Amino acid sequence: MENKLVEYTKTLVEIPSVIGNEKEIADFVESFLNKFYPKENIIRYNNSILAHDNFDSSKKTIALVGHLDTVPGENEYTGQILDGKVYGLGASDMKAGLAVMMGLVDYFYNKEKRFNTIYVFYEKEEGPYIDNGLEPLLKEFNIIQKADLAFALEPTDNKVQVGCLGTMHASIIFEGKRAHSARPWQGENAIHKSVNFLKRLSDFGIKEYEFEGMKFYEVMNATMVDFSGGRNIIPDKFVINVNYRFAPGKTIEEAKKDILNIVNGEAKVEFTDLCPSGRVCLDNVLLQEFIRKFNLPVEAKQAWTDVARLSLYGIDAVNFGPGNASQAHQKNEYVEIKNIVENFNIFKSFLEN
- At 149-189, the pLDDT tens digits run 999 999 999 999 999 999 999 999 999 999 999 999 999 99
| Residue 146 burial (10 A CB sphere; 0-12, 13-18, 19+) | middle
Return the bridge partners of 295, or none: none
Can you give the length of the chain in residues?
A: 353
Helix (H, G, I), strand (E, B) or coil at 151: strand
Q: What is the largest CA-CA distance in the chain?
A: 80
Sheet holding 214-227, edge to edge: 206-211, 214-227, 237-246, 166-175, 268-275
> What is the arithmetic mean of pLDDT over 317-334?
94
Helix (H, G, I), strand (E, B) or coil at 12: helix
Closest CA to 217 of 244, 235, 239: 244
Do residues 171 and 178 make contact, with C-beta atoms less than 8 angstroms apart? no
Predicted pLDDT of residue 212: 82
> What is the arithmetic mean of pLDDT over 306-329?
94
- Residue partners of 59: CB distance under 8 A and separation at least 6: 113, 114, 115, 116
Convert the pLDDT of each residue in 327-339 to its tens digit: 989 999 999 999 9
Convert the pLDDT of each residue in 107-151 to its tens digit: 999 999 999 999 999 999 998 888 999 999 999 999 999 999 999
Residue 90's pLDDT band (boundaries 50, 70, 90)? very high
How many alpha carbons fall within 13 Å on the CB side of residue 235? 18
- What are the domain boundaries of the chain? 2-163+278-351, 166-275
Residue 80 reports pLDDT greater than 90: yes
Convert the pLDDT of each residue in 45-75 to its tens digit: 999 999 999 999 999 999 999 999 999 999 9
CA distance linking residue 63 with residue 339, whole number of Å: 20
How many alpha carbons fall within 13 Å on the CB side of residue 31? 6
**Is-cis flag, bond preceding 94, omega within 30?**
yes
User: How many C-beta atoms surround the C-beta of residue 49 within 10 A?
Assistant: 24
Residue 44's pLDDT band (boundaries 50, 70, 90)? very high
pTM as predicted: 0.89
Predicted pLDDT of residue 229: 85
CA distance linking residue 126 with residue 90, whole number of Å: 11
Predicted pLDDT of residue 338: 98
| Residue 185 burial (10 A CB sphere; 0-12, 13-18, 19+) | exposed
> What is the arithmetic mean of pLDDT over 312-321?
96
CATH architecture observed for domain 2-163+278-351: 3-Layer(aba) Sandwich (3.40)
Predicted pLDDT of residue 1: 87
CATH architecture observed for domain 166-275: 2-Layer Sandwich (3.30)
Predicted pLDDT of residue 56: 95
How many alpha carbons fall within 13 Å on the CB side of residue 353? 6
Closest CA to 10 of 99, 101, 106, 121: 99
Residue 84 reports pLDDT greater than 90: yes
Predicted pLDDT of residue 228: 86
Return the bridge partners of 213, or none: none
Convert the pLDDT of each residue in 261-282 to its tens digit: 999 999 999 999 899 999 999 9
- Residue partners of 27: CB distance under 8 A and separation at least 6: none
